[in-house]
Each structure stands twice: as C-alpha cells, then as structure tokens.
C-alpha cells in the first residue's frame, strides 16, 4: 500500500525512539536496572550461577542471555556484565568476577572466554522472591521464553548504584549513593510519608562514589535532590607530602568518579611539557593492591598549593558530575528528585509484598487443605482402610473416599481456621475433595503412628497461624510497612559499608584565590586592548641612562599605554572610554612573559564592545578600608567628579555605568582619596593645578550619571593626562618657599659629604619658582625653626615628572601651591628648544626607595631607582632617565613598590649575560639635535629649565 515518506519516517522513528527509551537506555525506578542488566541477573539465576555455586566461564551466561532474552550482540551483554563486577564503577557490585575485568586505568577486560563470573551475594536481594508471583513476566523477543519486566529489588538500587545512558532526545546520569544511607532514608519515609527533604538530607548528605573523592559544597546536591537535575563538583583527594629533604610532592589517593587514572596522568604530563603547569618535576603511579597512590613530585622552587590549584583547574582532578535523574516510572520517562524516587520504590515494594503474601496464602491454604484430609483419614483410619481394601482399583477407591461423608467434628475448628473453602462441614460430617483423596491414597503407613499423627496436627496448626499472618499482611497497609522495614534492615546489614566520598562545606565556598601564590605583579595594558600580568621579580633595577630590556611583544604598531604593579589578591577596576566600570581580581588576569602580547580585554571583560580601557585602578586589598574611601574621576577635558567607593562595590559582570561623558571626552584617570586630601591634575602641555578635596571645592556626587565639574581650564590643544592625590599640608606660601630653600641646602650638603668635593654632577638642586602665578618676596636670611622644618620634612611628598623624550626630574610637592578649582594652573616643566619632545608624559608621586618603569612606543622598558633622579624645581627640564632612539618616545611611566634585592648583578641580566653599558655624556655618542653640546662637558644631562 502506498505511504507518504513523511508518515513512514514519523511512525518508524517514533517506534525506534520509544524502543531505545523503554527497552535499552533508561533504568526503571523500581529496581534501578536497564533491561540488559535485568536479563543478565535473571539469566544467571535461571542457569544456577548463584553466589553459592562455583564460578563459570563468562561466555556461558553471555551466551544464555543472548540466546534467550537479549536480542543484541554479545559485546553489549559482556560489557554490561563486566561493569556490574567492577568495584570502581558500582557502589554495590552485583556480579562476582574472577579474572581480568579491566581496571580504573581504562584497561579493557579479558575476553569472556578467559574470565569467570557468578552472581554476587548482593544480587539475591533482587531475585529471591521472583518465583512467588511478585512481578509480571513478559514473552522474550521470540516468544519462546518469558522474562521479568522488573526484578523484586529489596532496596532502592537506582540510588545505590546509579545509572547512565543516552536515549533518543534524552539522557540519564544518576550518581551512586551509600547503601546504608539510602536504606536509612527509605526507612524514614516508611515511618513518615510526609518527611521533608531537609530530614532526608541529614540521612543522605549526598552521593557516595566508589572511587571516593571530595564533593565541594552542598548547593548542587540539594538542587539535584529537589529537582532531579544539578551539577556536583567533585575533587580528588590530594595531600602534600615531603618525600625527601627540600622536595615535596602532591600525592593523590582518590580521584573523581568515572575518571580514567591513566588518561589523567597523561594529561598532567602534557600540560607540564607545554609549560601550562609549572613546578612539576616528575609523575609516577605507585598504586598497588592496598590502594591508589599517584605521586606528583615538585621542583624545589615550586609552591605546592599553587601547583595543586592548577591541577584542579586544568585536569580531571576536579570535575563536575552533572546529575540528571531520569528514569522510567510506570513505563514513562520522568525526571525525579530524591523524594520522588523513594516514594516510587516504596510503592513498588509494597506491591511486591502484597503479591507475595497472596501467593504464599494460596500455597499455604493448599497445604492446609491436604492436611485436613490427612487428619480426617487418621481419625477414621479403620473405615478408610476397609474402604480402600474393598475397592478393585485406585480410581474406585478415590471415588468412594470422595462420595462418603466422614466425621469431621474434631477438625471443624481447623477447617474454619484455615479458611478451607473445599470442605463444608454439615452436621459434623464433611466430604473429601479429589486432592484430599489423592493425598490419603498416597499416605505412607508410617504416618499412621501416634507420633506422625501429632506432627500432622502441629503442622496444621502452624499453617493456620501462617494463614492468619498472611491475611493480616494482605488486609493492612501498616503491617506491610512493618514487613518492609524488617526486610530493609536485613538488606542493610548485608550490604552496608562506610562512606567513601567526603562532603566538604569549606571547599564548596572556597575561592581558588586562597591557592594562588601571593606576590607583586606588573599589569600591562596596550593601546589595542591587550592585557597581561608578569611577576615583578622578572624586572630588575638598572642605573639611569641604561638601555633597558624588552617589556612586551608588539603586534603591529601596538604600544603600551597603561602599566602598574599590584598584589595578586587585589581588586582592579577598569574604566572604559565610554564611561563604564568593570572589576576583576589580579590573579584572574592572564599571566604571560615579558615578551608576550597578553590577552585581548574584549575577551576578558564582557560587553566592552568597541570601547577601550582608559583608566585602571587597583583597589586596597583589605575591603574594610573601602568604607571611608572616595573615588575622584578626571577627564581629558579637565572635568573632575567625586563619588563614594561604595557606589561601585557591586559591579555586574557586564559592567556598570561609571560616569556620563560628553561627546569626544574620555576618562584619563580615577584615584581613591579621603576627605581633606588634594587633587593634582597635570596636562601634556606642562600645566598643572592642585586643589583640596572638600565639600565646598569638590562635593560628593550622589549618582554615577553626572559628568562632574571643571577641575582645570585648558588652553586650546591641551588635555589632562595625569591625576594624583596628595596629602594636604597646612603651610603658607612663604613657609613652603623657605622650606624648599633650606631643604635644597641640606640635600646639597649631604651629597657633598657622601661623594666628596668636586662631584658637582651629583649635587641635587631645588628651589621655588617665581612665575606669573606666584608673588613671593623672601629675605635670604629668613629661616624656619628646627621643629617646623622637621615637621614639614616629615610630611613632604615628591613628584616625578617625565617627558616624552626620556627626561625627568623629581620635585617637592611644596613646589605646587594649593589653589582653587577651575583655574588655568601653573607651569609644570619647561622644554628646551634643542630637545626632542614637547609634552609631559606623566606626573606621579613617588616614595623613597621606590623604582619606576618607563615604557616606550617600541616596547622597550627600563626600571631604575628614583633616588638616582635629581630633586629639582618644578619648571626644570630634568635629567636623562632613558636613552631612546630618534623615532622613539616614552609612552608610559609607573612606579614599582619593591624594595627587595633580586639577587643579580646590576650589570647582568636574568640569564647572567652582560647588558649594554650605561651610557653617559662623556662615554656615549651625543644625543640627536646636539643636546649634549649645550650642556657642561663631563657632567650629567642637567637642564635647569
């Protein structure tokens, strides 16, 4: 008959899908078994391969199951049987295997002609009552045999041994649980059908995998128990041991469930060779019959906690078990939580007990019926013998026994007690049934003795008592629950075992940050939006005027525009050109070598789009310090705004609007501050302004949508490029000028005493500038008191100003007067016409003992101590900090908070090779544009400005 292909495809595929779902891939919630496992257990029981019998070749049960019940290949049957025998796969193995049944390393089992198997003792709890009409049977695939639709399981095997399978359009993945805990929870639900999930979770805290491990946290467990779906993170059990002097090792004794141990070791080795995990010297497998032991030997300088964290992150030492509790309930696939599974099992088990009681009742009544006939025959033995002797044959004797009424006065009570419907007592007389007549004819003469007669009466009384118990079970739900409790207790005693998987609350809420090695990092951001972090110790200090080293690999004409150092555990806030704020921990930033380009910010910060990061702010590591902190925003157009840091405490992953910007404007800096400090703004055209942070001068803005107020009035073509926060010092203009003169004299004297006479080049210079903004007239003999000088000296801050030509100088913050907000500011640096460079790159505060890094547009970097930079007047042009090429410019300057010794000779690099010699005006070629020709020969490149 003609059929459309659409209809045929729909019908055929639906039939195939239902076959896979019901008959192959999904377990039944009642016995927790798939059809293939059920058929293996039933087939081995039918063949007599039970726990009390010798082992038999695995090929025998596989052949029996394939020939009688399972219409698939032998490999699928053997693989299923092997898995039921593996203690690392099943929480309670159901097959007792002998021979090579594979290993946790993923080794294949030996062929079924080599291995032997029999049912495990635990399998009896699935099969013992199967002959007592406890479950329904169905024809096998060729209708030559029958097979059970489900096994009468005594305990909830679906939870104990779990299951995994892929059907059509659906899948199941159920973890294993501790058998004792599962039975305890079942008992609790039998006692109280309305028991809560919280109560059950006190009995079953979570899965219990046969391979052990540590479950991290309880959130995923509760979600899985509630809804049937959830993700449970599982971590290997690893300890850090000292294997010999100065050598430590990570020893793994338990791994997550279903992880291949050999593949795990190969992955660790591959990551070590690829340098993705540093610090591993060797890995070896010391596992034996006593247990698992993977030894990961570390290098001497490795931090064990950091290596272990990397192993958790990049290997299967930590995995997530995705729970999907999908099983067949009434022949239909259903996702069930813990309560649903237990309720379905209890309902099924009660039905098994009821059907078994009815079966036993029928059998017991049949036995009682025969015993009644025997009692009647013994009571009337002379008449019975005479009747039998007079009969010509057995058939006639049977008919005469059935046709005659016999005295039943003595057994009337017993007939009523066993509810014998075959014998009806009338006037003390009863007729025998055919079964009773046959039993009398089969009666042996020895049963006629007095002792045997008493045994018949005793057995009849026992049968009557048993019938009463069975009737009580059939008629009472409470009694059936009592029977279920008894059987659950018996099963628990047989299969109980200690918990193997630990559930850790601490690890569940613990951040990987605690396992990240603390230390200072140099964070670098390029113009094209690439970011990386590099350990600070890689960069060592050099004398000023050195050649530096390569700081970053460039991609095309990309250049570094932002650099700073921060602790690995600090928060870093990122501010985009579009006015959005993002937040990330330093240790989460990609780590790379000095020559690597890093990772694109667009891949690190979501929803960044076409915006670029224009400001980066490391926040204090101690979050309790955030309460009194404010943020000051500065824009290129000279705008400023003050907000509370708490306004930015909760930043979404997609970012937060930080500041409303006018078209064409951008953020150039954001800094933390306290009330009463000073804001310092510097421009690229060498102008600067300093004003105090007060509510009258710069109030706190309530929201984040404002564009702020004017901080400095800019000349055409100028823009702000530096924002600093300085401590406010109460000192008059005259006091500042006197202090600068006295401090200059003190520094010159200290330098002469330290270096001896004739070292004019080393003499620091300072002073106060008189320009259009200052009106100061001082007496040359006017001095401060010693107490006031010491007070101002203790509060003095030093600013470093660097030009794009590689020149710079230090200046006292007292050299920058405090004025009102919104003015044109004062001069910050004077450029000599013969020098290359016309712009100030940065002005920043520095501390004694600090180093600074200068980065050029060609990717070169130099690190030098600030003590080598002279303290000069704020209008001075400075000294050479970084000798750069003709077409090279300094693009970024940032401080390094490190006062430790890196252990290297200052004239050798990290590998021990000699660096370029430090160039001076007397030994090196003159700079371009004849700059050295205008300076004093034999002295440094000092320009007063």
Q: What is the pLDDT of residue 506?
A: 63
**pLDDT tens across 125-148, in order?**
999 999 999 999 999 999 999 999
* Three-state secondary structure call for residue 394: helix
Whether 366 is covered by a domain: the verdict is: yes
pLDDT of residue 772: 42
Distance CA 251, CA 245 (A): 16
Q: For the chain, what is the domain count?
A: 4
pLDDT of the residue at 565: 80
Q: Which residue reads 């300890």 in tokens? A: 239
Dihedral angle, C-alpha 528, 532, 538, 544, nearest 10 °: 30
Q: Do the Cβ atoms of 799 and 846 come closer than 8 Å?
A: yes
CA-to-CA distance for 612 and 617, rounded, in angstroms? 15
Mean pLDDT by 10 residues, the chain (945 residues): 92 90 92 96 96 96 95 94 96 96 95 96 95 95 94 96 92 96 96 94 96 92 95 94 88 96 95 89 93 93 85 92 95 94 96 96 88 82 85 88 76 68 68 84 74 79 89 94 96 95 71 66 79 80 62 55 78 80 86 81 75 76 76 90 83 80 82 90 92 90 81 91 89 88 86 60 42 44 81 90 90 91 90 71 87 84 87 87 86 64 37 30 32 34 37
Same domain, 127 and 243: no
How far apart CA 682 and CA 841 sit, in angstroms, is: 10
For residues 757 and 906, membership in a common domain is answered with yes
Give the pLDDT of residue 428. 67
Token reading at 122 = 């635990």
381 and 418 belong to one structural domain: yes
Q: How many CB atoms lie within 10 A of CB 500?
A: 15
In a domain, 294, yes or no: yes
Catalytic residue numbers read: 114
137 and 198: one domain? Answer: no
* 831 and 893 housed in the same domain: yes
The pLDDT value given to residue 179: 97
Same domain, 188 and 257: no
Q: Measure the CA angle with vertex 54, ends 48 and 60; round to 5°.
A: 55
- Amino acid 419: pLDDT: 66
| Residue 619 falls inside a structural domain | no
Closest to 238 in 3D by CA, of 205, 264, 214, 261: 214
Examine the domain organization and report whether 182 and 67 are in the same domain: no
Counting Cα atoms < 13 Å in the Cβ hemisphere of 413 gives 4
Residue 517 neighbours by CB distance under 10 Å = 14
Distance separating alpha carbons of residues 808 and 831, to the nearest angstrom = 11
Q: Which H helix or E strand runs over 503?
A: strand 502-504
For residues 676 and 698, the answer to whether their CB atoms sit within 8 Å is no
* Residues 250 and 399 both lie in one domain: no
Q: Is residue 398 part of a domain?
A: yes
Q: Are 313 and 512 in contact (CB under 8 A)?
A: yes
Classify strands 405-407 and 429-431 as parallel, antiparallel or unpaired.
antiparallel
Report the CATH number that the domain containing residue 270 is assigned in CATH: 3.30.1360.40
Residues 106 and 76 in one domain: yes
* Chain-centroid distance, C-alpha 390: 91
Same domain, 146 and 183: no
What dihedral angle (degrees, nearest 10) is formed by the CA atoms of 872, 875, 877, 878? Answer: 20
pLDDT, tens only, 78-125: 999 999 999 999 999 999 999 999 999 999 999 999 999 999 999 999
**3-class DSSP state for residue 566?**
strand
Which domain CATH number covers 90? Answer: 3.90.199.10
- What does 308-326 look like in DSSP terms, one character per residue? HHHHHHHSTTEEEEEEE-E
Provide the CATH number for the domain around residue 427: 1.10.268.10
Residues paired with residue 799 on neighbouring β-strands, in sequence order:
811, 845
Cα distances from 320 to residues 216, 268, 315, in angstroms, run: 10, 18, 12
**In this predicted structure, what is the pLDDT of residue 547?**
58
- C-alpha gyration radius of the chain: 45
* Structural domain includes residue 868: yes
Question: What 3-state class would DSSP assign to 424?
Answer: coil
Task: Identify the residue whose tokens are 């094209």.
Answer: 528
Domain-located, residue 602: no
What is the domain extent for residue 884?
A: 733-934
Q: Which pTM was predicted?
A: 0.63
Are residues 176 and 140 part of one domain?
no
Last residue of a domain, one of 275, 295, 316: 316
Q: What is the spatial order of strands in the sheet that 709-710 belongs to?
A: 667-673, 630-635, 639-644, 709-710
Structure tokens given for 585 = 């921990």
How far is Cα 450 from Cα 319, in angstroms, rounded to an integer?
Answer: 75
> H-helix or E-strand containing 727?
none
Assess if residue 514 is contained within a domain: no
Structure-token match 């058998």, residue found:
179
Best CA proximity match to 100, nearest among 120, 85, 90, 121: 85
**Same-domain pairing of 373 and 425:** yes
Give the domain-ending residue among 106, 128, 152.
152
DSSP 527: T
Say how far apart CA 136 and CA 154 lie, in whole Å: 16
Q: Residue 425's pLDDT is what?
A: 66
Last residue of a domain, one of 506, 534, 551: 506
Residue 84 near residue 38 (C-beta atoms within 8 A): no
Q: Tell me, yes or no, whether 50 lies in a domain.
A: yes
């Amino acid at each position: 008959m003609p059929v459309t292909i659409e209809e045929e495809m729909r019908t055929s595929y639906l039939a195939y899908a239902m076959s896979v779902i019901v008959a192959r891939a999904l377990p039944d919630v009642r016995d927790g078994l798939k059809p293939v496992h059920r058929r293996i257990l039933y087939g081995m029981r039918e063949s007599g391969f039970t726990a009390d019998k010798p082992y038999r070749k695995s090929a025998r049960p596989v052949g029996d199951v394939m020939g009688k019940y399972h219409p698939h290949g032998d490999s699928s049957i053997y693989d299923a049987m092997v898995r039921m025998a593996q203690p690392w796969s099943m929480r309670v193995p159901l097959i007792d295997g002998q021979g090579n049944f594979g290993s946790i390393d993923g080794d294949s089992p030996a062929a079924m002609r080599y291995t032997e198997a029999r049912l495990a003792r635990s399998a009896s709890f699935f099969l013992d009552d199967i002959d007592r009409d406890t479950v329904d049977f169905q024809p096998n695939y060729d209708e030559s045999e029958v097979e059970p639709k489900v096994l009468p399981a005594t305990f909830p095997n679906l939870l104990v041994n779990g299951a995994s399978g892929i059907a059509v359009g659906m899948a199941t993945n159920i973890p294993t649980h501790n058998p004792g805990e599962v039975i305890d929870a079942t008992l609790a639900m039998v006692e109280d059908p309305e028991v809560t999930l919280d109560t059950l979770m006190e009995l079953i805290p979570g899965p219990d995998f046969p391979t052990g491990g540590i479950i991290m946290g309880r959130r995923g467990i509760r979600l899985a128990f509630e809804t049937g779906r959830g993700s449970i993170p599982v971590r290997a059990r690893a300890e850090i041991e000292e294997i010999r002097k100065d050598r430590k090792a990570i020893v793994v004794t338990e791994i997550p469930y279903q992880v291949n141990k050999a593949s795990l070791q190969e992955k660790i080795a591959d990551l070590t060779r690829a340098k993705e995990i540093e610090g591993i010297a060797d890995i070896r497998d010391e596992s034996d019959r006593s247990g698992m032991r993977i030894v990961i030997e570390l290098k001497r300088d490795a931090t064990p906690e950091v290596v272990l964290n990397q192993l958790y992150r990049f290997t299967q030492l930590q995995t997530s078990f995705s729970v999907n509790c999908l099983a067949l309930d009434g022949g239909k696939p259903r996702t069930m939580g813990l309560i649903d599974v237990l309720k379905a099992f209890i309902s099924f088990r009660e039905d098994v007990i009821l059907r078994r009681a009815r079966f036993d009742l029928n059998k017991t009544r049949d036995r009682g019926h025969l015993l009644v006939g025997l009692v009647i025959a013994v009571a009337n033995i002379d008449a019975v013998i005479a009747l039998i002797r007079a009969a010509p044959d057995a058939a006639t004797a049977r008919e005469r026994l059935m046709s005659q009424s016999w005295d039943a006065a003595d057994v009337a009570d017993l007939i009523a007690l066993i509810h014998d419907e075959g014998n009806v007592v009338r006037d003390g007389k009863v007729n025998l049934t055919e079964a009773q007549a046959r039993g009398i004819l089969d009666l042996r003469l020895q049963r006629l003795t007095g002792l045997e007669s008493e045994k018949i009466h005793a057995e009849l009384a026992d049968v009557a008592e048993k019938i009463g118990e069975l009737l009580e079970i059939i008629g009472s739900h409470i009694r059936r629950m009592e029977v279920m409790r008894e059987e659950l207790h018996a099963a628990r005693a047989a299969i109980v075992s200690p918990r193997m998987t630990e559930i850790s609350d601490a690890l569940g809420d613990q951040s990987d940050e605690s396992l990240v090695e603390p230390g200072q990092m140099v964070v670098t951001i390029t113009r094209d939006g690439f970011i990386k972090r590099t350990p600070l110790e890689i960069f060592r200090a050099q004398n000023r005027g050195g050649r530096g080293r390569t700081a970053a690999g460039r991609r095309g004409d990309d250049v570094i525009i932002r650099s700073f150092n921060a602790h690995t555990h600090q928060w870093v806030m990122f501010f985009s050109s579009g006015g959005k704020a993002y937040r990330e921990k330093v240790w989460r930033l990609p780590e790379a070598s000095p020559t690597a380009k890093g990772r694109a910010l667009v891949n690190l910060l979501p929803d960044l789009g076409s915006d670029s990061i224009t400001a980066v702010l490391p926040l204090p590591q101690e979050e309790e310090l955030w309460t009194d902190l404010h943020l000051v925003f500065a824009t290129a157009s000279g705008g400023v705004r003050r907000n509370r840091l708490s306004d930015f405490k909760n930043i979404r992953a997609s970012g937060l609007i930080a500041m409303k910007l006018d078209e064409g404007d951008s953020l150039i800096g954001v800094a933390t501050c306290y009330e009463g400090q000073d804001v310092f703004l510097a421009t690229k055209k060498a102008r600067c302004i300093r004003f105090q942070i007060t509510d009258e001068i710069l109030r706190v803005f309530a929201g984040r949508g404002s564009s702020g107020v004017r901080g400095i009035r800019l000349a055409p073509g100028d823009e702000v490029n530096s924002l600093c926060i300085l401590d406010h010092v109460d000192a008059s203009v005259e006091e500042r000028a006197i202090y600068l003169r006295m401090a200059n004299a003190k520094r010159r004297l200290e330098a002469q005493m330290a270096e001896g006479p004739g070292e004019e080049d080393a003499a620091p210079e300072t002073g106060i500038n008189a320009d259009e903004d200052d009106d100061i007239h001082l007496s040359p003999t006017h001095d401060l008191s010693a107490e006031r000088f010491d007070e101002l000296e203790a509060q003095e801050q030093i600013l470093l100003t660097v030009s794009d030509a590689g020149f710079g100088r230090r200046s006292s913050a007292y050299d920058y007067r405090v004025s009102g907000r919104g003015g044109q500011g004062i001069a910050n640096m004077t450029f000599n016409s013969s020098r290359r460079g016309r712009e100030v790159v940065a002005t920043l505060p520095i501390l004694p003992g600090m180093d600074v890094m200068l980065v050029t547009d060609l990717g070169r970097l130099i690190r030098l101590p600030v003590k080598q930079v002279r303290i000069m007047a704020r209008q001075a042009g400075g000294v050479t900090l970084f000798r750069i090429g003709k077409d090279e410019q300094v693009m970024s300057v940032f401080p390094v908070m490190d006062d430790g010794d890196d252990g290297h000779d200052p004239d050798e690099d990290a590998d021990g090779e000699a660096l370029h010699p430090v160039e001076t005006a007397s030994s090196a070629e003159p700079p371009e544009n004849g700059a050295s020709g205008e300076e004093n020969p034999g002295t440094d490149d000092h320009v007063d400005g």
